[in-house]
Structure 1
Amino acid sequence: MKKSNSMLVLILSVSLSLSLIACGNSNQNNQEESAKQHDHSAMSHEADHSMPTGSEMSMDENKSITDLIDDYLALKTALVQDDSKAAANAGQKLAEATSGLDISTFDAPKQAVIKEILEVLKEHGEHIAKSEIAHQREHFEGMTKDFMDLLTQVGTDRTLYKQYCPMYNKGNGGSWLSASQEIKNPLFGSKMLTCGSVKETISMK
């Protein structure tokens, strides 16, 4: 009887040991699986943060400067064509577009400089919107330097060419920006359409 009891105890002990081992392996497997899932989750989280979120911001910035450049070039084209009405419309659009430029990504001192330039450009645009063509051309030539200063601060979304005509303003000369190297003079229009030359190339950084 004692022998049977000893055998029973031995069998139970072995069974319990096997159960504990199996349970331990199961827990270890669960822990390893959990750790793998945690590692995968952590990698996914890190991957999300490493995605280039700045690309969308750059697109937004380009879009805002794009509007201003488009309006400037539309104004230039209207003056080339001696079209005062189209120039007035482009001047008004440019004045309105100055408020759409997002400068929040720049530091405070640079924001102050950009704001000042935008205010001057807005004034030029508003004057062009209600002036006759000779006065439109004066404001257009005057705004070109400010426009170049703006591009120096915020960059450009395309290559532009600074062009210069020495005959404008009684021989004092005048400049403008163009998207083409071809000379089409907005300061004289049809009176002296090809007067000028390329003085500087402004490229994307």
Structure 2
Amino acid sequence: MKKVKLVTTIMVMAFISLTAMSCKNAKKEHNNDEGHNTEMNHDNSDGHHDSDKKEMAMNSNQDGNTEIILKDYFNLKDALVVDDEAKAKKIGASLEKSLENLDVSKYTDAQKLELKDIILDAKEHAEHISKSPIAHQREHFKVLSKDIIDMVAITGASNKLYEQYCPMYEKGSAWLSMNKEVRNPYYGSKMLKCGKVQREIN
């Protein structure tokens, strides 16, 4: 019986080692392809969608409403990455409500005024996203992203964020991600990896 357990353990260890090695090799091959786009994408992230990390997003030290807004924003970004117009519409509507519920009471008077302006503008773009075809969703996402970046500059975030940048979409467009790996919401499957990390936040 001990012999059988020992053989089983050795086989399991060998399988795990082989799996880990093949994943590593596949990642190396993946990082060496796609000329132009790979040059612009200098990262070693795990490639998961931001929505996969939503459990990490909530932190009791942060304003929960801000984190809800960010969760909706990242889900919207992920929908645009995979060219899912219908999902982007639903999340746009959800984001509009999240923005409406932001509690600005703990901020200074100057910050309150700035946040109210940001939220008013962001809500308008979220509403347009909830009613538009994907090309227009992406146009509104560009301005929405600027609003969310401005919001985070005031509110902070509970996790490290990456401000990413595509030089090709409308003469240059930024967005936020929780992953270092670039997944372009402006071009989706057409140019998935086009872009670079502009800066880290937090």
What are the residue-to-residue correspondences of 1:87-166 with 2, within 5 Å? Answer: 87-166=88-167
The 2-side partners of 1:126 and 1:164 are apart by: 24
CA deviations on 1:11-33 (whole Å, 9 max, x unpaired) are xxxxxxxxxxxxxxxxxxxxxxx
CA deviations on 1:152-173 (whole Å, 9 max, x unpaired) are 111112111011111112xx12
The 2-side partners of 1:110 and 1:197 are apart by: 30
Q: Which residue of 1 aligns with 2:86?
A: 85
1:180 aligns with 2:179: yes
How far has the Cα of 1:109 moved from its partner? Answer: 2.3
The 2-side partners of 1:87 and 1:193 are apart by: 17
- For the structure 1 residues 137 and 159, does the alpha-carbon distance in structure 2 shift closer, same or farther, using more than 3 Å as the test? same
Q: Which residue of 2 aligns with 1:24?
A: none
CA deviations on 1:18-57 (whole Å, 9 max, x unpaired) are xxxxxxxxxxxxxxxxxxxxxxxxxxxxxxxxxxxxxxxx
Give the TM-score of the pair, scaled to structure 2. 0.69
Residues 160 and 180, structure 1, Cα contact 8 Å, conserved in 2: yes
The 1-side partners of 2:61 and 2:139 are apart by: 32
Residues 62 and 157, structure 2, Cα contact 8 Å, conserved in 1: no
Matched letter for residue 193 of structure 2: T
Q: Which residue of 1 aligns with 2:28?
A: none
Residues 165 and 198, structure 2, Cα contact 8 Å, conserved in 1: yes
Q: Which residue of 1 aligns with 2:77?
A: 76
The 2-side partners of 1:138 and 1:153 are apart by: 24
Unaligned regions of 5+ residues in structure 1, if any?
A: 1-57
Residues 165 and 174, structure 2, Cα contact 8 Å, conserved in 1: yes
Residues 164 and 197, structure 2, Cα contact 8 Å, conserved in 1: yes
The 2-side partners of 1:116 and 1:190 are apart by: 33
- If each structure's helix is expressed as a fraction of its own residues, which one has the higher value? 1
How far has the Cα of 1:60 moved from its partner? Answer: 7.5
Residues 65 and 157, structure 1, Cα contact 8 Å, conserved in 2: no
Structure showing greater radius of gyration is 1
Count, aligned residues: 144
After TM superposition, the runs of 4+ consecutive aligned structure 1 residues lying more than 6 A away are: none
Unaligned regions of 5+ residues in structure 2, if any?
A: 1-58
Residues 89 and 129, structure 1, Cα contact 8 Å, conserved in 2: yes
CA deviations on 1:117-163 (whole Å, 9 max, x unpaired) are 10011001000000000000010011111111111111112111011
The 1-side partners of 2:63 and 2:107 are apart by: 14
How far has the Cα of 1:62 moved from its partner? Answer: 2.7
Residues 61 and 101, structure 1, Cα contact 8 Å, conserved in 2: no
What is the DSSP-based 3-state SS (H/G/I as helix, E as strand, rest coil) of the residue aligned with 1:59?
A: coil
* More contact order relative to length (CA 8 Å, sep ≥ 6): 2
